[in-house]
Amino acid sequence: MAGTYNICLDIGGTKVLGAVFDEKEKVVYRLKKKTKSGGESSENVEEVIISVVDEIISESGIKKNKIHAISAGAPGVINQDTGIVLFSPNLPWRDYDIRTPIEKKFEVPFYIGNDVNVGVLGEFNYGAAKGYKNVVGFFVGTGMGGGLILNGKLFTGNLFKGAEYGHMILDPEGPLCNCGQRGCLEAFSSKQGMSAYIRQQVSRGRASMMADALDGSAFKSKALKKALDAQDAVSMEAVDRACHYLAVATGNMINTISPDIVVYGGGVIEAVGDVFLSKIEAEVDRYCMPSIRSTVKLANAALGDDSVIYGALSMIKK
């Protein structure tokens, strides 16, 4: 719509990234704000989101009556049709209607979906997967997120619970995952999985410059990049292990879906560059049928931190 703006958000457990898009789909203002969601109520997180949108409107100089819609990606199982967050692992939301208070406050439509689904949608419409019809996305962060585009449409499964292939079990006797199962892809290849491996090796007396970076449950992605640049042996082993299981999971998805492209995104991939992609490419052929593999491209996400906000833009009904 001419002369109108869309506000798009990437809602995380520790931050909200916001951006204003003009009618030509160009970012004209952006804002990143830290949140402290631990132990807070649903309403408090809702207030943070409202305050971020208020701040965006105020600081960007756009008029409230020029806003066409607000859209967001957030972690968890989210019903995109109703705007109800069924469950979110890092935010205090259970069966929580986030759409109604946002629409009541700003008097415009509000759209919300799972952050990785939304991120893959962003790459499909604006990034590395643009022009392809069938897309598999692996987003490597604190956890391991998955997103699927099938025949040009986002696939979310029954009740929007699909594409959780970060919990594909690759070794039933493997490490315990936060989901309660053992040997999930997430338990090997996420920041939490790699952190657990590094912590285990350090506890055995091995030296690693990552020892001091294991603050809480997982390291920061920049610390991993620094350790890899210094050829820290334990960190390199953790990444090799993560990439091995990503290659196995990628092979399984290639055989199952026969996608046009597999896209790797998330904070870890963004921080370490092509390290993961090159290791996965070197190994993936062992785990999928050559006739299927020959038509599949592997690529890093192109939008970086902005995958989710561009995906949020994609959800808005023009």
Residues contacting residue 60 through CB under 8 Å, at least 6 positions apart: 20, 28, 29
- 311 and 189 in a common domain: no
Q: Do the domain assignments include residue 209? A: yes
For residue 238, being part of any structural domain is answered with: yes
Domains held by the chain: number: 2
pLDDT attached to residue 217: 67
- Let me know whether 176 and 104 are in one domain: no
Q: Are residues 153 and 290 in the same domain?
A: yes
Q: What span, in angstroms and rounded, lies between the C-alpha atoms of 171 and 177?
A: 11
CATH of the domain at 14: 3.30.420.40
Specify the pLDDT at position 204: 95
pLDDT, tens digit (0-9, with 9 covering 90-100), for 55-96: 999 999 999 899 999 999 988 889 999 999 888 766 677 888
The predicted pLDDT at position 90 comes to: 62
User: Does one domain contain both 136 and 67?
Assistant: no
In a domain, 126, yes or no: no
Are both 143 and 291 inside the same structural domain?
yes
Query: Same domain, yes or no, for 147 and 247?
Result: yes
- Asked whether residue 124 is domain-assigned, the answer is no
The answer to pTM > 0.85 is yes
Packing angle between helix 221-229 and helix 233-257, nearest 10 degrees?
110
Cα-flanking dihedrals φ and ψ of residue 27, to 5°? -75, 120
pLDDT of residue 317: 79
In the chain, which stretches have pLDDT less than 50? Answer: 37-39
d(CA 279, CA 257): 22
Tokens 């892809």 appear where? 185
Based on its alpha-carbon atoms, the radius of gyration of the chain, rounded to whole angstroms, reads 20
Backbone angles phi, psi at 87, to 5 degrees: -160, 140
Burial 267-295 (b: 16+ CB within 10 A, else e): bbbbbbeebbbebbeebbeebbeeeebee
**Domain check: are 142 and 291 in the same one?**
yes
Say if residue 204 is in the same domain as residue 298. yes
Q: Is 175 exposed, middle or buried (0-12, 13-18, 19+ CB in 10 A)?
A: middle
Instruction: Give phi and psi for 72, each to the nearest 5.
Output: -150, 155
Residue 125 lies in a domain: no
Q: 268 in a domain, yes or no?
A: yes
Clarify whether residues 195 and 67 are in a common domain: no
- Per the domain annotation, does 9 fall within a domain? yes
162 and 289 fall within a common domain: yes
Looking at the fold, whether 115 and 153 belong to one and the same domain comes out as no
Q: Which of 19, 6, 12 is nearest to 309 (CA)?
A: 19
The verdict on 262 and 158 lying in the same domain is yes
**The predicted structure's pLDDT at residue 1:** 53
Domain assignment present for residue 10? The answer is: yes
Domain span at residue 295 reads: 131-302
